Amino acid sequence: MTNELAQHCRQSGIKNETVLNAIESVTRSDFLPADLVDSADVDQAMPIGHQQTISQPFVVARMTELLMDNHRMQNVLEIGTGSGYQAAILSQCVNQVYSIERIKPLYLDVQQRLQQLGYDHIQLRFADGISGWQEHAPFDGIIITAATASVPPALINQLSDAGRMVLPLGTPGVSQRLCVINKNQDTLTTSYHDPVVFVPLLPGQTDT
């Protein structure tokens, strides 16, 4: 049950009640392959095909909490839609979510899934996430759900003057730390948090 995930996240240190309510209200099994549905309440990352994963619920909650920082954001850009689970969680916490996926089959699957589930405040795009989504910038928040050793400049430029970015920063395929970048006009401040392991952030679009 999703309330078990919320309770686990609370016990693991998540304090933001809006985030905890989102973890409770979003049914994770809706975002898993059929053969993994019975493991939906296990707090671990799981494969979703195409060498991609759905993150463990605690990491999803933690990244969302770091992004929110107890403030209501109007619009958030997500780089790496994947299964759509992180986008669904974000949609319970902010007014509008824009999410970019570079792998065509995942994009088509999640587009249908979110429509069927009634997530009306998530807009998807099949594109190279490293370039962001200039048409809807600036964004109050940007969340990157893949590892990178450096922050794409285009995404920094698409943050609002008081915007915030959360991403796994470090060596892809090895280990990273959750990094929070706060933008105050032309000044950036950075802080580092939990150790994580994410799939790499890759450029370009792919149909496979």
- Residue 100, pLDDT score: 98
Contact 112, 83 (CB under 8 A): no
Q: Taking CA 184 as the corner, what is the angle to CA 90 and CA 13, rounded to the nearest 5 degrees?
A: 40
Domain limits of the chain?
2-196
Q: Is 187 helix (H, G, I), strand (E, B) or coil?
A: strand
Q: What is the pTM of this model?
A: 0.95
Residue 72 has pLDDT above 80, yes or no: no
Q: Is 10 helix (H, G, I), strand (E, B) or coil?
A: helix
Q: Is the dihedral of CA 102, 108, 114, 120 positive or negative?
A: positive
Residue with tokens 């933001």, as numbered in its chain: 16
Q: Name the nearest CA neighbour of 93 among 14, 16, 164.
A: 16
| φ/ψ (deg, to 5) at 112 | -65, -40
How many angstroms separate the CA atoms of 72 and 96, rounded?
Answer: 11
Give the pLDDT confidence of 183-203 residue by residue, as tens digits: 998 899 999 999 999 999 998
Residue 168 has pLDDT above 90, yes or no: yes
CB atoms within 10 A of CB 194: 14
- Percentage of the residues of the chain whose pLDDT score is greater than 90: 90
Residue 144 has pLDDT above 50, yes or no: yes
Give the pLDDT confidence of 102-123 residue by residue, as tens digits: 999 999 999 999 999 999 999 9
55 flagged as catalytic: yes
Give the pLDDT confidence of 19-50 residue by residue, as tens digits: 999 999 999 999 999 999 999 999 999 999 99
Among the listed residues 12, 39, 55, 83, the single catalytic one is 55
- Percentage of the residues of the chain whose pLDDT score is greater than 70: 99
Contact 124, 107 (CB under 8 A): yes
Q: Which helix (H) or strand (E) holds 51?
A: none
Nearest-10 crossing angle of helices 17-25, 57-68: 140
Tokens in use for 199?
A: 């799939």
Residue 1 has pLDDT above 60, yes or no: no
- Residue 2, pLDDT score: 63
Domain 2-196, CATH number (from 3.20.20.70, 2.60.120.10, 3.40.50.150, 3.40.50.300):
3.40.50.150
How many angstroms separate the CA atoms of 138 and 130, rounded?
Answer: 15
